[in-house]
Amino acid sequence: MREAMLYDRLPDGRVRCHLCAHRCVIADGRKGICQVRENRDGTLHTLVYGRTIVQNIDPIEKKPLFHFYPGSTAYSIATPGCNFRCRWCQNWRISQMPREGDILSGTEASPEEIVAAARDAGCRSVAYTYTEPTIFFEYTYDTAREAHAAGLENLYVTNGYMTEEMLDTFHPYLSAANVDLKAFRDSTYRRYVGGRLQPILDTLKRMKARGIWLEVTTLVIPDINDDPAELRDAAEFVAQELGVDTPWHISRFFPAYEMTEVPPTPIEKLREAREIGLETGLRYVYIGNMPDDADTICHSCGRLLVRRSDMSVIENRVASGNRCPDCGASVAGVGMAADTDSE
């Protein structure tokens, strides 16, 4: 436990947290919505600094980030907790641990130890993932600075509910992010997630403006966010506000947590969503949680650029300078060629 960053002291021993868009006002002895930031005698503390619940070596494609050094590995870490309570959470056993079990377990690991482990494993990056990295911000911030100094990239896999203050503090060390756009209706966020839509849209635009490589994921859930009009609205936002080169990952839902009665997303619905994305002008639309539709195709000539299978790169034909080897068209991303780190 240590003192948190990004908060104000208020009268009567209360504090206001400025880490995420909830901006919780927390009375003495109470916790914020995330359940991992606690006010003790007028000082806000983080309860999960260095408390890793996961340490894995993952292919970058698992994040998913398909246009950021494809074929590389990321040293992935997480701590317990989340500032959302998605009823369909795939990682609820760790993200909802503080709410469901009122415990905060984990293995202690310093930022220096995480970076050393990442380098020893030959990883190109450190990924803050599995749970919401915003709520263990202090730990990610210290680790990211160590990683940056060691020549490693830093990645956020996030729900995007961070404040501008938090992003401004972290973004000098943030190389890339995959942001969950869980729905494109505020009512869905309020009913099923415990948040609002607009802060996520603001974060996406801020990340784009700050030069962070950005990819977007939408988990398509039957009768929740799979209406074609809503999917089109989401795709148009990505294309118009973030750019047609922004990869959009459309993932298949499987029953989980409090939505075990909902069936998996029909495959035809996912293919319909992909076509909607392409119709809006998006150049790179992928279907996740399925064995196919993970290849990168040249938007100009239609030839294969990167072939993937089971989150692994089988073949990478991208030429030096992030160019298609057949027509010379630019391929959006960072370090797309197998033999170069060029953008």
Q: What is the pTM of this model?
A: 0.96
* pLDDT for the residue 179: 98
Structural domains in the chain plus CATH codes: 2-46 (no CATH), 51-294 (3.20.20.70)
The per-residue pLDDT for 342 is 39
* Plot region of 257 (φ>0 → left; ψ -120 to 50 → alpha; else → beta): left
What confidence score (pLDDT) does residue 216 get? 98
Instruction: Note the pLDDT of residue 285.
Output: 97
CB-based burial of residue 87 (10 Å sphere; 0-12 exposed, 13-18 middle, 19+ buried)? middle
pLDDT given for residue 292 in this prediction: 67
pLDDT tens readout for residues 153-170: 999 999 999 999 999 999
pLDDT at position 289, please?
A: 84
Task: Give the residues of the chain that fall short of pLDDT 50.
Answer: 341-343
Look at strands 125-128 and 73-78 and give their pairing: parallel
Amino acid identity of residue 66, one-letter, is: F
d(CA 292, CA 299): 18
Count of residues making up the chain = 343
